[in-house]
Amino acid sequence: MSQTRSVYEFNSAIVREPSSSVVNGLRANDRGGPTYEGVKAEHEAYISALRNAGVAVKVLPPLEIFPDSLFVEDPALVFTSGAILLRPGTPSRVDETVELIPVLRDMFETVLELPAPGQADGGDIMYTPMGVLIGLSARTDRIGAEALIACIGKLGGKAQVAETPKGVLHFKTASSLLDDESVISTAALADAAAFNGFRRIVVPEGEEPAANVLRVNDVVFASAHYPRTLEMLDKEGYRVVPLKTVEIEKIDAGLSCMSLRWYRETK
């Protein structure tokens, strides 16, 4: 996994189309479910943004029996050197991994499996130039995190455990990598030891969901409806691509959740 390119340089991605069952997606607080049409529109704009950023996107078909399966980031983890099938930490999502096995075997020479009994969701995992951070959460337990560190080691990488703030679904719900030196997070993660050595940008109070941005090559995808965060990122010199996330936020999702991303080496 030793590489000279940035961890946010991607030329390949996998996404999965939302199914009409997305209206029943998991949520911690019910503020009314999303509409299928609304999610679909946000998903289509996201695919276009990935393509505009120079990424080849493989679009998988919808899976009616898995309402949350468009959040393809959670059941697997991908690197240039191989893929890891995770063990999602919530019962209704566990078998999403099965659906990904043939896809990943087709696209990667090496596909590892996180061993039982640990659990880990991709939403808790952040690539950084200093190694991979694995946030412990209600979805990712310590056994899963330790087993994942071993899997990442087999692919030539290193990883360490971090803490996810209480009441937050995933580590990356509250933080994201912006560039090789900088992270953006909510105030709850602003002093996190995991980010020692990084420049830290904190989203304004009231705009917490805006901490889930997605750096892809030269651009930063950010939620379109958090004006103070958008202005901050713009002032910091980032090329921001604002994307609507109103519907997916109703089921606790953000911009990183909707893809698996990696740099595929051509032989």
Q: What is the contact surface with ligand CIR in residues (CB under 6 A)?
A: 25-26, 68, 71, 73-74, 90, 93, 122-123, 169-170, 173, 251-254, 256-257
Closest distance of CB 27 from ligand CIR, Å: 6
Closest distance of CB 235 from ligand CIR, Å: 27
* HSE of 256, CA atoms in CB hemisphere, 13 A: 28
**In terms of CB distance, is 161 or 236 closer to ligand CIR?**
161
Residue with CB nearest ligand CIR?
A: 123
Dihedral sign, Cα of residue 57, residue 60, residue 62, residue 63: negative
Q: Is the Cβ–Cβ distance between 10 and 216 less than 8 Å? A: yes
**In terms of CB distance, is 33 or 131 closer to ligand CIR?**
33
Closest distance of CB 247 from ligand CIR, Å: 12
Supply the residues annotated as catalytic.
170, 257
Q: Is the Cβ–Cβ distance between 4 and 253 less than 8 Å? A: no
Q: Is the Cβ–Cβ distance between 261 and 55 less than 8 Å? A: yes
**In terms of CB distance, is 25 or 242 closer to ligand CIR?**
25
**In terms of CB distance, is 104 or 174 closer to ligand CIR?**
174
- Rounded to whole angstroms, the Cα distance separating 50 from 13 reads 8
**In terms of CB distance, is 239 or 258 closer to ligand CIR?**
258
Closest distance of CB 40 from ligand CIR, Å: 16
Residue linked to tokens 């990667």: 108
- Rounded to whole angstroms, the Cα distance separating 64 from 73 reads 18
Closest distance of CB 263 from ligand CIR, Å: 20
- Rounded to whole angstroms, the Cα distance separating 187 from 204 reads 8
